[in-house]
């Protein structure tokens, strides 16, 4: 059964869901094709925007209207119910840093 948790914000509720393996693969493929990081990618280096959108019922437009504290609150729930995603992204980032150090 897929985990879900609701995050209450001041004026709305956001549904955060556990991602499937296919959704994680889809997100990684999108990252691979992405030429420049999105705004959320720059704000929170350890959770790319693509996964934030895949794991919530938010649109890009709704995401743009959130405050930093609201994003932080949602991010914590995403990481809580998607622990493998969080660990995978950390490993990929570390591997990328090591590759850059070698060049």
pLDDT tens digits, 45-54: 678 889 999 9
What percentage of residues in the chain have a pLDDT greater than 90? Answer: 54
pLDDT band at 38 (very low <50, low <70, confident <90, very high): low
Distance (Å, rounded) from C-alpha 62 to C-alpha 45?
A: 20
pTM (predicted TM-score):
0.82
> Which helix H or strand E contains 13, and what residues bound it?
strand 13-17
Number of domain units in the chain:
1
Range of the domain at 95: 4-102
């Amino acid at each position: 059964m897929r985990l879900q948790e609701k995050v209450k914000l001041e004026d709305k509720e956001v549904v955060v869901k556990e991602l499937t393996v296919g959704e994680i693969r889809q997100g990684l493929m999108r990252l691979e094709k992405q030429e420049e990081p999105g705004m959320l990618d720059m704000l929170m280096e350890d959770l790319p925007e693509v996964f934030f959108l895949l794991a919530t019922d938010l649109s890009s437009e709704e995401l743009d209207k959130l405050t930093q504290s609201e994003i932080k609150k949602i991010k914590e729930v995403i990481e809580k119910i998607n622990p493998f995603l969080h660990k995978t992204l950390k490993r990929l980032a570390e591997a990328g840093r090591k590759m850059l150090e070698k060049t």
